[in-house]
């Protein structure tokens, strides 16, 4: 029976999984040149099976989120799983998680999930991430919202959850994930190892800052079996929505202009313009804030509950339309 995507996002997978305990490693020589991850802020808490996420590090949900998640969709078919290899982890994730999330991005706007696509760059880069979720603006090239890697029983939940990434295996994994984020210019990254979903957000003001050892990083961890906590489906949805906002910022006017004053910079990892007023940085200059038009996905400015209009009689936009009504 059909449900709304919103309902499915908050429903945990129910199909049986037989876990073999098989483990892989990560020893990519190219990743050794990247700094290991150090400065992490953890946004998940709770006991086993009841881990809940705080998504306050992401931009808030907007009217377009309501539009795309109100679409009708169907839950995965019933079947049993044997979780052994990386391919098994990927297959399970597609069927039980991303295939449920992606109908939300069928049209508002259309997002494509691709496997082993090279970085969308003019440079000749050999290394490829397992998964990329991309958006192609009209007349433009594919832009990554999120990139993902698949492993088997490699993520040490306790090390990442405490922010103390110390063992050689976890350090190698952190180098690899940072390396992919650098190569794809994509600060929203995940790794799923068949049992644990690790999500990262590199809080880079500029793309090149992803490579910096002192770059602050937001971190979320979820077990596959987490019936009393946040679902993997909703977690992936929020990561994709954040990547979409970032990409929309990259497509926006830069520098942004309000009250005849240009913004100081536009935050790369969020897409938000930041103003410096009287020596203080502001996301909401002069009490103004951004909102999303669900009809076309454009971002416009609001003040005191009302849209802000320009001298030309048009809404002052901060993000271009992403789709048609």
> How many percent of the chain have pLDDT more than 70?
100
* Count of all residues that appear for the chain in the document: 325
Q: How confident is the model at residue 49 (pLDDT cuts 50, 70, 90)?
A: confident
What pTM was estimated for this model as a whole?
0.97
Residue 214 burial by CB count (10 A; 0-12/13-18/19+): exposed, middle or buried?
exposed
* Average pLDDT of every residue of the chain: 96
What's the confidence (pLDDT) of residue 4?
A: 98
**The two structure tokens encoding residue 12:** 């945990």
- The Cβ of residue 147 has, within 10 Å, a number of other Cβ atoms equal to 27
Q: Which residue in the block uniquely carries the two structure tokens 């109100």?
A: 70
Mean pLDDT of 69-95: 97
Residue 278 CA to residue 32 CA, distance in Å, equals 43
Q: For residues 3-12, give the mean pLDDT.
A: 98
* Mean pLDDT, range 305-323, rounded to an integer: 94
pLDDT band at 241 (very low <50, low <70, confident <90, very high): very high
pLDDT in tens, 120-160: 876 778 899 999 999 999 888 999 999 999 999 999 999 99
184-212 pLDDT, tens digit per residue, is 999 999 999 999 999 999 999 999 999 99
Would you state the structure tokens that stand for residue 304, as one six-digit string? 């005191």
* H or E stretch covering 131: strand 131-135
Give the pLDDT of residue 125. 82
**Site of tokens 């433009």:** 140
- Between CA 112 and CA 135 the distance in angstroms is 6
d(CA 159, CA 163): 6
Residue 60 pLDDT class (50, 70, 90 cuts): very high
pLDDT digits (tens, 9 = 90+) for 212-232: 999 999 999 999 999 999 999
Element (H, E) at 292: strand 288-292
Mean pLDDT of the 46-66 span = 96
Closest alpha carbon to 66 in 249, 300, 218, 241: 241
Q: Among all chains, which residue has been given the structure tokens 């990561």?
A: 239
Each residue of 288-306: pLDDT tens digit?
Answer: 999 999 999 999 999 999 9
């Amino acid at each position: 029976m059909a449900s709304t995507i919103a309902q499915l996002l908050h429903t945990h997978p129910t199909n049986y999984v037989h876990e073999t305990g098989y483990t892989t490693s990560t020893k990519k020589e190219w990743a050794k040149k990247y700094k290991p991850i150090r400065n992490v802020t953890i946004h998940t808490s709770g006991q086993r099976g009841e881990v809940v996420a705080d998504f306050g590090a992401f931009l808030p949900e907007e009217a377009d989120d309501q539009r795309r998640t109100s679409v009708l969709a169907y839950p995965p078919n019933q079947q049993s799983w044997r979780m052994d290899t990386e391919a098994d982890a990927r297959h399970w994730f597609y069927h039980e998680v991303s295939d449920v999330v992606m109908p939300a991005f069928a049209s508002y706007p259309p997002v494509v999930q691709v496997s082993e696509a090279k970085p969308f760059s003019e440079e000749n880069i050999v290394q490829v991430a397992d998964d990329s979720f991309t958006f192609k603006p009209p007349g433009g090239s594919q832009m990554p919202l999120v990139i993902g890697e698949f492993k088997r029983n490699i993520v040490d939940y306790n090390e990442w959850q405490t922010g103390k990434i110390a063992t050689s295996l976890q350090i190698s994994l952190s180098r690899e994930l940072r390396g992919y984020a650098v190569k794809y210019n994509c600060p929203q990254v995940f790794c799923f190892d068949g049992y644990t979903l690790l999500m990262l957000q590199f809080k880079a003001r500029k793309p090149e800052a992803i490579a910096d050892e002192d770059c602050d990083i937001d971190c979320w961890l979820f077990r596959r079996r987490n019936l009393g906590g946040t679902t993997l489906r909703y977690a992936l949805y929020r990561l994709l929505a954040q990547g979409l906002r970032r990409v929309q910022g990259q497509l926006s006017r830069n520098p942004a202009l309000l009250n005849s004053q240009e913004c100081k910079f536009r935050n790369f990892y969020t897409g938000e313009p930041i103003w410096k007023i009287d020596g203080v940085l502001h996301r909401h200059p002069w009490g103004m804030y951004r909102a999303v038009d669900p009809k076309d996905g454009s971002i416009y400015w609001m003040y005191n509950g009302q849209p802000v209009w320009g001298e030309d009689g048009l809404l002052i936009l901060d993000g271009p339309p992403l789709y048609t009504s």
